[in-house]
Structure 1
Amino acid sequence: MATDGRPARPNDHAWYTALLARCDGVTPVATAVVHPCDALSLGAAVEAAQLKLIDPILVGPEAKIRQAAEEAGLDISGYRLEPVAHSHAAAARAVALVREGQAGLVMKGALHTDELMHEVVADDTGLRTERRISHVFLMDVPDFGRPLLITDAAINIAPDLETKRDIVQNAIDLARVMRIEQPKVAILSAVETVNPKLQSTIDAAALCKMADRGQIAGGVLDGPLAFDNAISKEAAAEKGIVSPVAGAADILVAPDLVSGNILAKQLTFIAHADAAGVVLGARIPIILTSRADAERTRIASCAVAVLMSRQDMLAVKPAIR
């Protein structure tokens, strides 16, 4: 719904267009596309290549990739193909391509997320840094007036306080890449007061104090905040909440994966939001999309990952452990 109660109008995709415009002139990033063995994932990789966002390396069973290309009418003759036996091997090889310096991004194809992430987080051969890996949705909601970042809706099921610290920092880093200079971060719960019986409120209070002490940098935090208080100044005023974040949040930090996932999908399917999703905290950004995602979502996710890969901030992350 729009803020005045009217049904949300269909998205005019202006944010999506502006996002792609920011990538004009950027050198395409070599991207290991993991197991692109269906028309959706292979088509997204080809379109992103045609838009000069990525230079795809197609990693998977060669016969299946070529069959998918033939069935979808896609010409993949100009792209490098790394043949492996199956999806698990494709995930392992994609990670190896990054470690060897041959790829700067990883893009999920037609395989389960946990199969890809198992290789990404492997202790000896993966792409981990000292920071916990997390997922961020960047969403453009019609009639809302500004993009919203929602985290974590895809990776961390029930994050503890330490994990939430990294979830928040990852989202702040992405917001700054997206030119939100000092993002306002709302730590969500069901209420806006600290309740010892509700762990999400305790975590919210602790995260705010961690930001005060410099353990989280680059953003302004407040919480706990209920969703309405985070995005509506009117709702915050009715509750008497005085805060630079209430009613003005750029980042919404969900208490767990289920609530974050529901929120993001409601905005997509009911409010007609455009979305982009990326995994952060690894050595490189990971383009992690769902098979249910629209083509626009897949391309927007590539664009966001490309912009992140070109930032010096990635160079200062700790080395692989």
Structure 2
Amino acid sequence: MSDTNPFLSTRDAVCPPTLLEMAQKAKSPRVAIARAGAPLPMEAARDATEANIMEPVFTGERALIESEAERLGWDISQFQLIEAEGEQDSGMAAAMACGEGRADVMMKGQLHSDTFMRAALARDAGLRTGNRLVHIFHISHPDGGRPITISDAAVNVDPNIETRKDATREVVKLLHMIGNPRPKVAFLSATESVLPAVPSSVEADELATWAKSEIEGAEFSGPLALDLILSPAAVATKKLTADPVAGQADAIIVPDIVSGNSLFKAFVYLTGGCAAGIVMGAKVPVLLTSRADPPAARMASICLAAIANANA
């Protein structure tokens, strides 16, 4: 008897060709990789550089970076290398390079996420804009079709209404950048009814009402449960066919990190989705990559950063 969970997809993630094409048409951004001297960040940097979607700026221990480059057979002599020791100094070196205009994108390498984000938020780094930082996942299926965008699955643990407003603005802005002129945005809850006993439904209603009056170039609806966000059949059964978002959403604004993180991982692990992640709201795009990210997701994330940088 197999121990493999039958719900897990065996599909490999695929970087969306449309994202790659858009990134290749943009000017390759200079990507400051915080503590680059490890296999995963160096392989991602090499692949993206060879795809003409970035120019690496390495930070970290020179010996480790050069050793990894040699292992890959990659000549990095033409690229900038900023020497720094350890996680904290490497993170700050990458953040400072972006804040001072020597790099256009900040990308996580071999360091802990909290150390990386502390560097991005440090006052001395110059990346703060006064806006809240929000994480966005753009997830595509291996067979193509309509992608889905999710915010916030990695940065804001319990986002208040104002943070979710910022997330909504950033999601719409990003979807406009990648060619969706009027995205359909759903505010997630467990029900389509506004119920005081379900706080997320009350807040989703408030957010949808606000967004309709404040954000142009998009459709909004909420509260909506996941079946009504994704399934036209569920929409027809529940007689919500007049809703402009239900059953055909391009984006989901989640009420908390648990629902966002669970939802993104369900799309990845159960469908083979490719999750391109980006943090918006700073002076430059920030890539909070994970050790669990497959090469396709890393490539797609860099594509998003190149597109966002070109539209800054």
Q: Which residue number corresponds to residue 18 of structure 1?
A: 18
Q: Which residue number corresponds to residue 223 of structure 1?
A: 222
C-alpha displacement of 1:120: 1.5
C-alpha displacement of 1:9: 8.8
Moved more, 284-293 or 20-29: 20-29
Q: Unpaired runs of 5+ in structure 1?
A: 1-6, 315-321
Contact 2:88 2:116 (8 Å CA) reproduced: yes
Q: Which residue number corresponds to residue 203 of structure 1?
A: 203
| Cα distance in 1 for residues equivalent to 2:13 and 2:100 | 41
C-alpha displacement of 1:71: 4.2
Contact 1:168 1:253 (8 Å CA) reproduced: yes
Q: Does the alignment pair 1:67 with 2:76?
A: no
> How is 1:58-97 mapped onto 2 (pairs within 5 angstroms)?
58-97=58-97
| Cα distance in 1 for residues equivalent to 2:190 and 2:165 | 19
Contact 1:98 1:105 (8 Å CA) reproduced: yes
- Count residues with an aligned counterpart: 305
Q: Does the alignment pair 1:238 with 2:234?
A: no
- Residue identity matched to 2:117: M
| Cα distance in 2 for residues equivalent to 1:65 and 1:291 | 17
Contact 1:278 1:287 (8 Å CA) reproduced: yes
C-alpha displacement of 1:262: 1.3
Contact 1:46 1:76 (8 Å CA) reproduced: no
Structure 2 residue matching 1:110: 3-state secondary structure: coil
Structure 2 residue matching 1:270: 3-state secondary structure: helix
| Cα distance in 2 for residues equivalent to 1:194 and 1:102 | 49
| Cα distance in 2 for residues equivalent to 1:221 and 1:27 | 32
| Cα distance in 2 for residues equivalent to 1:102 and 1:282 | 15
Structure 1 residue matching 2:300: 3-state secondary structure: helix
Structure 1 residue matching 2:122: 3-state secondary structure: coil
C-alpha displacement of 1:76: 2.5
> How is 1:166-181 mapped onto 2 (pairs within 5 angstroms)?
166-181=166-181
| Cα distance in 2 for residues equivalent to 1:150 and 1:190 | 16
Judged with a 3 Å threshold, the aligned counterparts in structure 2 of structure 1 residues 218 and 117 are, in CA distance, closer, same or farther, namely farther
Contact 2:99 2:283 (8 Å CA) reproduced: no
| Cα distance in 2 for residues equivalent to 1:153 and 1:84 | 30
Structure 2 residue matching 1:46: 3-state secondary structure: helix
| Cα distance in 1 for residues equivalent to 2:219 and 2:297 | 28
Q: Which residue number corresponds to residue 289 of structure 1?
A: 289
Contact 2:13 2:141 (8 Å CA) reproduced: no
C-alpha displacement of 1:124: 4.7
C-alpha displacement of 1:117: 1.1
C-alpha displacement of 1:142: 4.5
Structure 1 residue matching 2:57: 3-state secondary structure: strand
| Cα distance in 1 for residues equivalent to 2:132 and 2:202 | 20
| Cα distance in 1 for residues equivalent to 2:49 and 2:297 | 15
| % identical equivalent positions | 36
Q: Which residue number corresponds to residue 4 of structure 1?
A: none
RMSD over aligned Cα atoms? 2.1
> How is 1:1-321 mapped onto 2 (pairs within 5 angstroms)?
10=11, 13=14, 16-142=16-142, 145-214=145-214, 216-241=215-240, 242-311=242-311, 314=312
| Cα distance in 1 for residues equivalent to 2:40 and 2:73 | 12
Judged with a 3 Å threshold, the aligned counterparts in structure 2 of structure 1 residues 108 and 9 are, in CA distance, closer, same or farther, namely closer
Contact 1:119 1:126 (8 Å CA) reproduced: no
Contact 2:147 2:250 (8 Å CA) reproduced: yes
Judged with a 3 Å threshold, the aligned counterparts in structure 2 of structure 1 residues 223 and 25 are, in CA distance, closer, same or farther, namely closer
Judged with a 3 Å threshold, the aligned counterparts in structure 2 of structure 1 residues 87 and 305 are, in CA distance, closer, same or farther, namely same
| Cα distance in 2 for residues equivalent to 1:212 and 1:301 | 29
Q: Unpaired runs of 5+ in structure 2?
A: 1-7
Structure 1 residue matching 2:27: 3-state secondary structure: coil
| Cα distance in 2 for residues equivalent to 1:247 and 1:282 | 32
Give TM-score scaled by structure 2 length: 0.91
Judged with a 3 Å threshold, the aligned counterparts in structure 2 of structure 1 residues 34 and 124 are, in CA distance, closer, same or farther, namely closer
Judged with a 3 Å threshold, the aligned counterparts in structure 2 of structure 1 residues 225 and 101 are, in CA distance, closer, same or farther, namely same
| Cα distance in 2 for residues equivalent to 1:21 and 1:191 | 38
Judged with a 3 Å threshold, the aligned counterparts in structure 2 of structure 1 residues 145 and 228 are, in CA distance, closer, same or farther, namely same
